[in-house]
């Protein structure tokens, strides 16, 4: 048995790239996450996925983002960048629970 490497940064890069390519269409984002879930281990990287969907990138202990302001490592398609509107936040929450 070979152990699988734990590579949250590779996971982050894959998810962020897909979210950014999906554009502002939440339905396209949901489809991307659904399709990607069959080949990426969401359970193994649950914390990283949660960080990305809420804050737009991975978070360090204490809540600072680990992206060095590199736009390829962060996305604006997350709760923190959503309009400050109940419906917008609810829509992002629904995508996150798909």
Q: Which residues contact 43 (CB under 8 A, 6 or more apart)?
A: none
Distance CA 52, CA 78 (A): 7
Are 79 and 89 within 8 A, CB to CB?
A: yes
Q: Which two tokens stand for residue 85?
A: 């509107």
pLDDT reported for residue 5 = 83
DSSP 65: B
pTM of the model: 0.83
Block means of pLDDT (10 residues each) for the chain, 98 residues, are 79 94 89 90 92 92 86 89 87 72
Write down the pLDDT at residue 90: 86
Number of domains composing the chain: 1
51 CB-near residues (< 8 Å, 6+ apart): 57, 58, 59
How far apart CA 29 and CA 42 sit, in angstroms, is 15
CA separation for the pair 4, 1 (Å, rounded): 9
Which residues form the domain of 8? 1-97
Whether 75 contacts 16, CB under 8 Å = yes
């Amino acid at each position: 048995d070979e152990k699988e490497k734990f590579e949250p940064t590779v996971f982050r890069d894959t998810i962020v790239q897909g979210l950014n390519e999906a554009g502002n269409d939440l339905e396209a984002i949901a489809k991307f996450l659904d399709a990607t879930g069959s080949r990426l281990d969401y359970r193994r990287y649950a914390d990283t996925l949660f960080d990305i969907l809420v804050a737009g990138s991975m978070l360090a202990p204490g809540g600072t983002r680990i992206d060095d302001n590199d736009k390829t490592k962060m996305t604006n398609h997350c709760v923190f960048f959503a309009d400050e509107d109940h419906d917008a936040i609810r829509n992002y929450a629904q995508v996150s629970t798909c």
